[in-house]
């Protein structure tokens, strides 16, 4: 079985710091997803530079097939050690998972990662390896569908020390939190956001350290296609619709004109829900042959806003509970799908040429650009086609 490896992370800066001392880098090469979480010494600019260099160097080298020993030697030769206290320049956690499910993890001085399987924290094999003067914890294993690796900087394990807890957030308590608060259906971003938010609460909102959670989840591929607007040349309607409908997985049609041409091709009618679940968002509809039909620019504009809030982690954790059309589309894109095809028609909508309604093609193209960019940040595979 070939898996899709989805990843995401959430970071919060230490109080009064503009830059985060933690850094996460990802790379996809030869069907292998690599993620590196580095925690630079101290905080602020220095820590940010150290963690950025560490994560970038390791991620680039390992995704190119070089050994962890070579990576550590390069880091040691490139970055300084604080000699007065002999503290490492940066701690790090490396995780690689192939499409065939082979996992390799290296942990150096970061809190040990948690593996969630079927909603429970489980043990995984660890081998101690000494490279130079550094003790590395290495893991090699075959993953299972649904396995979720939760990696974090010591901003999580130190949460609440001297404030709300005597000894910080112990490993057992972190595991209990993940088991009780995270669903097996949660996306990597949702899991990362929940753990970071809990750490923030233990700090009483005053972050005592840079805090980062990075998550990789093993999933089956789930494709979704969305069609936004008809082609610029009406002669291309049939070809584009057939291409759109031939794709596997769920399908969304967005826009009144678009839904009409798809309806005409399928010989099916659009049934519109009359319940305005959100007065600002036109209701969704249904049509046999596709999974969801929505209004165009207004709905997708709201999806764009939600996508921005999701990647910036400025959205309430209960956002998925809303049932309006925009939230439904955002959930299908960011929570359910792994591979997204976006069909963008360049036809000008006559209804949008009214000076009193300044909606035009450039706005739609900008919406698509932002949404696709945020989907990429969320670890999705995105394919955008213009017609």
Q: What is the 3-state secondary structure (H, E, C) of 299-311?
A: HHHHHHHHHHHHH
CA dist 347 and 234 (Å) reads 8
CATH architecture of the domain formed by 4-219 = 4-Layer Sandwich (3.60)
DSSP category for residue 73: H
Task: Give 124-158 pLDDT, tens digit per residue.
Answer: 999 999 887 788 999 999 999 999 999 999 999 99
Task: Give the position of tokens 């209004």.
Answer: 295
The pLDDT score that the predictor gives to residue 351 is 55
pLDDT band at 358, cuts 50/70/90?
Answer: very low
What is the distance between the terminal CA atoms of the chain, rounded to a whole angstrom? Answer: 34
The pLDDT score that the predictor gives to residue 350 is 58
Q: What is the DSSP string of 188-218?
A: HHHHHHHHHHHHHHHTTTS-SS-EEEEEEEE
H helices of the chain, where? 44-63, 68-78, 154-157, 171-181, 188-202, 237-246, 256-266, 297-312, 325-331, 361-377
pLDDT band at 362, cuts 50/70/90?
Answer: confident
DSSP bridge partners of 134 = 131
Q: Tell me: pLDDT of 357 over 80.
A: no
CA dist 385 and 387 (Å) reads 7
- Return the domain boundaries, the chain: 4-219, 223-386
The H-or-E segment that residue 71 falls in is helix 68-78
CB 295 within 8 A of CB 255: yes
Helix (H, G, I), strand (E, B) or coil at 11: strand
Sign of CA dihedral 190, 195, 196, 197: positive
Q: Tell me: pLDDT of 353 over 60.
A: no
CB 144 within 8 A of CB 218: yes
CB 241 within 8 A of CB 261: yes
pLDDT band at 65, cuts 50/70/90?
Answer: confident
* Mean pLDDT within 210-234: 95
Sign of CA dihedral 361, 364, 366, 372: negative
């Amino acid at each position: 079985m070939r898996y899709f490896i989805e990843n995401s992370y959430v970071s919060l800066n230490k109080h009064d710091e503009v830059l985060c001392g933690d850094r996460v880098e990802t790379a996809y090469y030869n069907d292998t997803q690599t993620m590196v979480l580095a925690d630079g010494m101290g905080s602020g600019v220095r820590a940010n530079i150290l963690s950025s260099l560490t994560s970038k160097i390791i991620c680039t080298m390992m995704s190119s097939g070089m050994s962890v020993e070579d990576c550590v030697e390069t880091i040691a030769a490139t970055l300084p050690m604080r000699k007065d206290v002999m503290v490492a320049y940066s701690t790090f956690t490396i995780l690689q998972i192939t499409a065939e499910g082979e996992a390799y993890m290296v942990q150096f001085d970061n809190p040990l990662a948690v593996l969630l399987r079927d909603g429970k924290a489980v043990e995984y094999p660890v081998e101690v390896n000494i490279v130079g003067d550094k003790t590395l914890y290495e893991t090699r294993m075959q993953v299972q569908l649904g396995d979720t690796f939760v990696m974090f900087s010591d901003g999580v394990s130190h949460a609440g020390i001297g404030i709300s807890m005597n000894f910080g957030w112990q490993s057992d308590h972190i595991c209990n939190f993940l088991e009780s608060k995270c669903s097996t259906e949660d996306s990597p971003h949702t899991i990362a956001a929940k753990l970071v938010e809990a750490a923030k609460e233990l700090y009483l909102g005053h972050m005592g350290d840079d805090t980062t959670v990075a998550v990789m989840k093993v999933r089956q591929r789930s494709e979704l296609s969305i069609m936004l607007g008809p082609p610029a040349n009406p002669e291309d309607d049939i070809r584009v619709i057939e291409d759109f409908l031939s794709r596997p997985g769920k399908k969304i049609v967005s826009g009144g004109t678009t839904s009409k041409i798809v309806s005409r091709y399928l010989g099916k009618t659009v049934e519109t829900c009359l319940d305005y679940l959100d007065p600002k968002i036109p209701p969704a509809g249904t049509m046999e042959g596709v999974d969801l039909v929505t209004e165009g620019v207004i709905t997708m504009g709201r999806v764009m806003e939600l996508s921005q809030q999701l990647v910036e982690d400025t959205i309430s954790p209960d956002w998925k509970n809303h049932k309006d059309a925009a939230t439904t589309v955002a959930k299908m894109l960011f929570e359910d799908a792994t591979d997204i095809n976006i069909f963008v028609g360049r036809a000008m909508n006559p209804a949008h040429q009214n000076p009193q309604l300044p909606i035009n093609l450039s706005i739609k193209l900008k919406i698509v650009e932002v949404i696709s960019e945020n989907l990429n940040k969320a670890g999705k595979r995105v394919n955008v086609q213009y017609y």
